[in-house]
Structure formats: C-alpha cells, structure tokens
Amino acid sequence: MGRYDLALIGFGGVNRALAELMSQNGDRLAEELGFALRVVAITDLRAGSLVDTDGIDLAPLLAAEPGELSFAGLAGGSADPRNEWVIREVPADIVVEATFTNPTDGEPALSHVRWALESGKHVCTTNKGPVALAGRALKRLAAERGVGFEFEGSVLSGTPVLRTAERMFGGLEITGVQGIMNGTSNYILGRLEEGIELSAAIAEAQELGYAEADPTADIEGHDVQLKVMILANEVLGADLRREDVFCEGISSLTPHEVRDAASKGLRWKLVGSATRHEDGSVDARVTPLALPAQHPLAGICGPVNAVAFHTDLLGTVTVSGPGAGRTETAYALLSDITAIHQRHGDDDSAPTCPVLKETHRV
C-alpha cells in the first residue's frame, strides 16, 4: 500500500481534527481508501514548527491542551513556525493548509499555497482566502507543475458541493446557485428565534467550533461573500472580485425582528446567490432574506448549510449538510487527499511531485 507524507500548516481546530482522524482511524481509513497517511511536519503560529521525516508521533501532541502546545523543546521542534522553509524544503507529498482566512488579501495562506505548488507539492486547503481571491492563478500554477490543488472544504466544510458540481453535473448547464453557506449565522438566527440574545448565541457558536476566530466575518457576511465567489468562479465560470459581490450580514437584524417574522411564518436567512445571465455575465450577492416557510432553504436550520443549483435539465438540485465544524472540515481535507490520490496516485509524469511511497505495516 502507498503512503502520503503530509505537512500540516496551521494546527488549530481543523488540522488537529485531521490528526485525530488519522490517529484514531488510520488503519481503517488506509484499508478503505487504499493509501496510508503520515505527518512529517507541522507548523503553527503559536506552537512553532515540528519536523520528523520518519513520521511525527501525533498522540502526545493531541493529548496536550491546544493552547499549551509548544514544539520548541521537542526533537525537530522550534518556537518559530518557519512556514516557508517547511513548505519548500521538507519532503512532504501534500501540504495541508488550514490557517486562518484573511478575506482582504488571502495572506499568509496565499503564500503558503503558492510556495507549496512552486515546490511541486500537492495542496489541499479549507482556506477560502486563497481560493476566492486567487483560485484561477493557483489552479494554473498547479496545472503547470503537474500537482493537485483541492479545496472542497472552502465551501460547506465536508459536504461535497464543489465536487458534486464538478463530477456529477456533466452535460448540465448550471444557471445559478443560491445557498445558506454560513453555519454560524444560521445557528445564530435559529437561536435568536428561540429568544437567545445575539452575544450569547455568538459565544455558543464559537464554543461549538462553527465561528471563525473573529466572528465578524460570519456575522457581516464576508465569509459567505468568499464562498459565493468560489462557487460563482468554479461552477458558473465567473471571475469575480470581492467588490463585485454585494454583501450585507445579519448584524442589523434585531432579535425582536427575527421573532416577529417567525410568528408570521417567515424565517430570516443569510442567503448567498450567484446568477448567470444570457450574455454570460454573472452577478452575485449576499443578503439576509425573510423566506416563507415553503421555500426550500427555509427549513435549513442550525449549522446545517445547503446549496441549490439551478440547472437546465434537472431544475433545482439541492445539496445539504454540515457547513462548519472541526471534524466535518477535516473530512473535507480527507476527501481532497482522496481526490489527489485518484488523479495523481500513479502519475509518474509530474515533474517534481514525489511518487506515492511504499509503506510497510506489521
């Protein structure tokens, strides 16, 4: 059986959850997926960096409280994240980028992805910034280097929205998308409806791991704005910039308004949409809407998200599932690694991409 060596960039909730999946279910996953996984490097803004090309023992790292983890005293460890050196120089097969999302310029994640692709390494990321702001250029770079660039988790965490559109909709024309794409705001709107105050609902969403480190992006719609850009660019062939996508969040809604609407059979939802017109132009927006109960998106509650694809031959096809959460987003990375394996696993033509290694397990 082959094996992929991973460099984890960022060791917050998502990559930690991926490490947990590997640590707890590694053998079962290997058997089912047909490849093994090993972590050879980890970098993290707070913990520093850790490199062991024979494979890092994840158990003691996962036993430590996240806030207390430091790689400084460990063999192969440093207090300095050394991101560029780790990404470019450590012989990993796949760089797994899960640092924080920067909606303005995508950095530092954008550089992380670029360094990895330039170094001939496959990349998978849950980070919306690089995909929304520079997806086209990064895909071109990956194609030039003969490596994979996968980002399923950038929209709806592990729920396969992008891959469904890419792999299952051959021959269909997609004319528009509309969705509830932020678990935090959807959870909060539901809690407001139940009478919980905004600040308490935000704190709950953070505790549950749905919210971004800075929940402003969830509340003000910037998170959905990036996801709409990714969907529009990937699925509708657009090339939207942030300023092209009108964005209004839920902070102007009062708990009274939400409860009042509910009493009239309406549900406030933060809806992201993109439409392709006959002349080929695409417009996109993020805005709260009070949906009637019979609207297909009105029943999407809590952290659950949904994207409705409007198509020519099938009408509307809706994909629904978790849109946030540590394990759910880590699953997106696993599905990305699987996609890389399917596309490149026995591809010897890639110029610098390391070939899947033989691994021996007793």
Choose which of 125, 182, 225, 233 interacts with ligand HSE (CB under 6 A).
Answer: 182
Choose which of 212, 220, 328, 336 interacts with ligand HSE (CB under 6 A).
Answer: 212
Closer to ligand HSE at the Cβ: 324 or 339?
324
Using CA atoms, how far apart are residues 224 and 247, in angstroms rounded to an integer? 8
Closer to ligand HSE at the Cβ: 49 or 125?
125
- 121 as an active site residue: the answer is no
Q: Scan residues 222-241 and list those touching ligand HSE (CB under 6 A).
A: 223
Choose which of 98, 324, 330, 340 interacts with ligand HSE (CB under 6 A).
Answer: 324
Question: Closest residue (Cβ) to ligand HSE?
Answer: 184
Considering the rule CB under 6 A, would residue 151 count as an interface residue with ligand HSE? no
User: Residues 40, 56: contact at Cβ < 8 Å?
Assistant: yes
Considering the rule CB under 6 A, would residue 36 count as an interface residue with ligand HSE? no
Considering the rule CB under 6 A, would residue 130 count as an interface residue with ligand HSE? no
Residue with tokens 């796949």: 94
Dump the DSSP string for 136-198: HHHHHHHHHHT--EE-GGGTTTTS-HHHHHHHH-TTPPEEEEEEE--HHHHHHHHHHHTT--H
Question: How many CB atoms lie under 10 A from the CB of residue 340?
Answer: 24
Choose which of 10, 130, 179, 183 interacts with ligand HSE (CB under 6 A).
Answer: 183
Q: Which of 128, 227, 269, 357 is catalytic?
A: 227
Considering the rule CB under 6 A, would residue 158 count as an interface residue with ligand HSE? no
Tell the smallest beta-carbon distance from residue 217 to ligand HSE (Å): 7
Using CA atoms, how far apart are residues 135 and 122, in angstroms rounded to an integer? 15
Q: How many residues bind ligand HSE (CB under 6 A)?
A: 10
Peptide bond into 108 cis (omega under 30): yes
Burial of 36 (0-12, 13-18, 19+ CB in 10 A): buried
Residues with Cβ within 8 Å of residue 350, at least 6 apart in sequence: 120, 145, 146, 147, 344
Choose which of 210, 268, 309, 331 interacts with ligand HSE (CB under 6 A).
Answer: 210
DSSP 244: G
- Binding positions for ligand HSE, rule: CB under 6 A: 182-184, 210-212, 218, 223, 323-324
